[in-house]
Amino acid sequence: MTKTTVHPLTAADAHTLAALRARRSPLKGKLTRASFDALMEEVPDVPGIQYSDDIVGGVGGVWCRPQHADGTILFLHGGAYMAGTAHAYRHFVGHVAAAAKMNAFVPDYRLAPEHRFPAALDDAHAAYVGLASGKESPVAIVGDSAGGGLTLALASDLRDARAPLAAVALSPVTDLGQSLDSLSRTAELDLLLTAESVAHAARTYLKGHDPRDPRASAVYAETSALPPVLLHVGTSELLLDDSRRYAARAEVTLHEWEGMPHVFLSDIELEAAREAIEITGAFLRDAISR
């Protein structure tokens, strides 16, 4: 049974969000690979995290290693399946790794339109097997936005073999077949996404493939025998229903954050972001201690 916790918007975060909205309004619906990486590079570094390039399971990426780590996170980055790099994500992932006291590997999975479905999921699976088969085990999977969708789809794929110890999805994409009408309800509130940009990303990634394929849209995936699953979502983001619909089908822990935008955890200046990261770290530490 899903456990849902609703977090109210604080006065301090309301003030911070107003500044973020003003600063990011020129980017809404217009993110490119370069501008998306620049946005993620704004996340401040975490003291004590060591970063290094590596290849795991044939997939290149970046390690984020805090001191005194136990266990490993496979972190699948967002970017609408078309953008995002491990290097640009390293500081954000460093915050999650530090909170969990776990090493984290961020793979540079293949992106659309050059590489369509299921290339991203295949690369995520290969990186996971590479980690789980070696000294980096046990492994949890964490991802945001498109990477959150990959996280949940991969967790379902792995239910019967080398299951992850936990899965955490931050503002995940769970249904690539949603209509523009269903996406438009919170469109004005979202800081960066538009219904049209989300629909374009889905079409580009799928290239005619059935969006109801559970490996593409985790809301249709088998959810029995999953590891512990944690979801974070903001109530002011376009993909709010993606988390709610997934939570209605699976046994998960769902945290809804009032007024928060898409993948708000990367906006470290927000009180909610820091609290959500701490909740994520505690969830992962609890999973590894079982």
* 243 carries an active-site annotation: no
* 262 carries an active-site annotation: yes
- Closest C-alpha among 91, 102, 96 to residue 65: 102
- Would you tell me the crossing angle of helices 33-40 and 86-100 to the nearest 10 degrees? 30
- Closest C-alpha among 58, 26, 52 to residue 39: 26
Q: Residue 24 is encoded by which pair of tokens? A: 């990011």
Catalytic residue among 156, 237, 243, 255: 237
Catalytic residue among 91, 125, 136, 145: 145
Separation of alpha carbons 165 and 16, rounded Å:
35
Long-range contacts: 273-280, Cβ < 8 Å, 24+? 275/7, 276/170, 276/232, 277/95, 277/96, 277/99, 278/99, 279/230, 279/232, 279/255, 280/96, 280/99, 280/100, 280/142, 280/168, 280/170, 280/230, 280/232
Q: Which residues does 191 contact at the CB level (< 8 Å), separation at least 6? A: 20, 21, 24, 25, 28, 236, 261, 262
Q: Which residues does 250 contact at the CB level (< 8 Å), separation at least 6? A: 2, 223, 226, 229
* 125 carries an active-site annotation: no
Q: Residue 94 is encoded by which pair of tokens? A: 């460093």
Catalytic residue among 91, 95, 125, 262: 262
Beta-strand ranges (E) seen in the chain are 3-7, 50-56, 59-65, 72-76, 103-107, 139-144, 167-170, 229-234, 253-257
| Sequence-ordered alpha helix ranges (H) in 49-194 | 86-100, 119-132, 146-157, 180-183
Catalytic residue IDs: 145, 237, 262
